Amino acid sequence: MASRRQTELEYRKQINKVIIYIQEHINSPPQLEVLAHVAGFSPFHFHRIFAAFVGETIGQYIRRLRLEQAARRLLGSTQNVTNIALAVGYETPSAFTKAFKLHFGVSPSQLREMNKQSAASMLYQVKIRTKQRRLSMKPEIRDLPEQEVLYVRRTGLIDNSFTQAAQEAFTVLMRFIEERNLSKQWSQCLAITPDETSLTPPEDCRYDAGVILRPGVQVKPEGEVGIQVIRAGKWAVFMHKGPYETMWQTWNSAYRDWLPASGEELRDASPYEVYLDDIAQTKPEDLRTEIYIPIK
């Protein structure tokens, strides 16, 4: 088996291919399937692998490159702000100015008023990234049969959070379960979020709130409540302890620190989260969440 260092370098090599592709097509709308193909990874997992290794989502990375390109144009040309905004993919100068100031701490006009040395120094400082903390994690490998999931879907990401969508979906789902006396007919509560949230419009990002039905239980879908199937297969199961807001750390560690050295290959299926505790009765720091990543 290849060493951990070798396998991590192989993953980084594939990610670097994508970074080069993005740089060469910086002004083209990014397509997740195309980027995944360039990397040689499954679209089900590519965006999580990219975020784990790069420290930014694909959307954040592309947005940063475009803003840095704009900053160079502001300092090295006499183009007006509107033309530069349009050239780097913003539909309006106001949207560009807001994003620019949020990223650099100054407006485009203020950057131009700075002397070249001060401006260059500031841009360099912004580009410095904090090194990601590595977590030592070992998953439990489980072979699971086909599972039926009773679920309700909501769409909509607000301030980069699915909190509202989750609350609405689980409220509808649990009401359905209570009204039909199904409380003993399911075993686990889960969520599936299949979309790359930085590339998919926020209003279209999907959140599936579900419960895994016990073997042999049959429920007729009605209205917003549907049935989907998780295919039988092998899963690497990671335990996250703590609030949901820090879940990304465990996701990143799974894809960046464990996967390359594990010798495992990813399977074409959506990963998902299983919530083991009742959020209404458990302190955030005590919450336990299992992360299921499909492997071959």
- For the segment 222-279, what is each residue's pLDDT rounded down to a tens digit? 999 999 999 999 999 999 999 999 999 999 999 999 999 898 999 999 999 999 999 8
Q: At what angle do helices 116-127 and 58-76 cross, to 10 degrees?
A: 170
Condensed to tens digits (0 to 9), the pLDDT of residues 2-22 reads 555 568 889 999 999 999 999
- Do residues 197 and 158 lie in contact, with contact meaning Cβ atoms separated by under 8 Å? no
Q: How far apart are CA 228 and CA 131, in angstroms?
A: 39
Predicted pLDDT at 1: 46
Element (H, E) at 189: strand 186-192
The pLDDT of residue 123 is above 90: no
In this prediction, residues 31-52 reach a mean pLDDT of 93
Nearest Cα to Cα of residue 176 among 230, 228, 220: 220
Instruction: Give ranges for CATH 1.10.10.60 in the chain.
Output: 4-127
Tell me the residue type at 189: C
Predicted pLDDT at 4: 58
Predicted pLDDT at 134: 59
Q: Is the domain defined by 4-127 classed in CATH 3.30.460.80? A: no
Predicted pLDDT at 76: 86
Condensed to tens digits (0 to 9), the pLDDT of residues 160-177 reads 889 999 999 999 999 999
Nearest Cα to Cα of residue 279 among 178, 189, 187: 189
Half-sphere exposure of 124 (CA within 13 A, CB side): 6
pTM of the predicted model as reported, rounded to 2 decimal places: 0.85
DSSP 8-state assignment for residue 132: P
- The CATH number corresponding to 140-295 among 2.40.110.10, 3.20.80.10, 3.60.15.10, 3.40.50.1220 equals 3.20.80.10
Instruction: Give ranges for CATH 3.20.80.10 in the chain.
Output: 140-295
Predicted pLDDT at 9: 87
Predicted pLDDT at 98: 93
Alpha-helical segments (H) within the chain? 4-24, 32-39, 46-54, 58-76, 81-87, 93-104, 108-113, 116-127, 163-179, 247-253, 259-262
